[in-house]
Amino acid sequence: MIRSSLVRLAVAFLALLTAVVVLLTVLVRLGATGVVSLTTWLAAGRAGRKAPGAPAAPLPANVRRLADARRGRGTPSNARVSGGAERPAAARLTFALVGMGWPAPAVRAFVVGLGDRVEREPVEKLIGEGLRALAA
């Protein structure tokens, strides 16, 4: 009886010790996250300071459209958006490559360089070729 009580006490002590270690681990992670957030905030604050009265940079067009849509201006949410099949092949290719994150001027230069191949060859093949060309 005493032996089983000692075993239970030892198991309870190990469970308590495990819980304390887990708690300390979580507290260290929380502290590290706080330090990262603080340093990011401080770095952004120093880099983002502007002179008083300086004009704000204009918003990109896609952000303006989103803001206008949220305010109820611009294109209504139920308006018909043209599908990909209705766009010319050059516009579809440009849209696809820019949507993947490539800079628009480089994509446009690539598409113009293709000439009439854009209309003759499948867009999927040209996207692969464009990825190779833009990555080089």
Residues 43 and 89 in one domain: no
Tell me the residue range of the domain where 34 lies. 1-48
Residue 80: predicted pLDDT:
46
Per-residue tens of pLDDT for the chain, all 136 residues: 678 889 999 999 999 999 999 999 999 999 999 998 888 888 777 655 555 555 666 666 666 666 666 665 555 544 444 444 445 888 888 888 988 888 888 888 898 888 888 888 888 888 898 888 888 7
What is the structure's pLDDT at 16? Answer: 96
Count of domains observed in the chain: 2
Residue 79 pLDDT: 46
User: Identity (one letter) of the amino acid at 25?
Assistant: T
pTM more than 0.75: no
Residue 79 lies in a domain: no
Say what the pLDDT of residue 56 is.
64
Q: How far apart are CA 9 and CA 4, in angstroms?
A: 9
- 130 belongs to a structural domain: yes
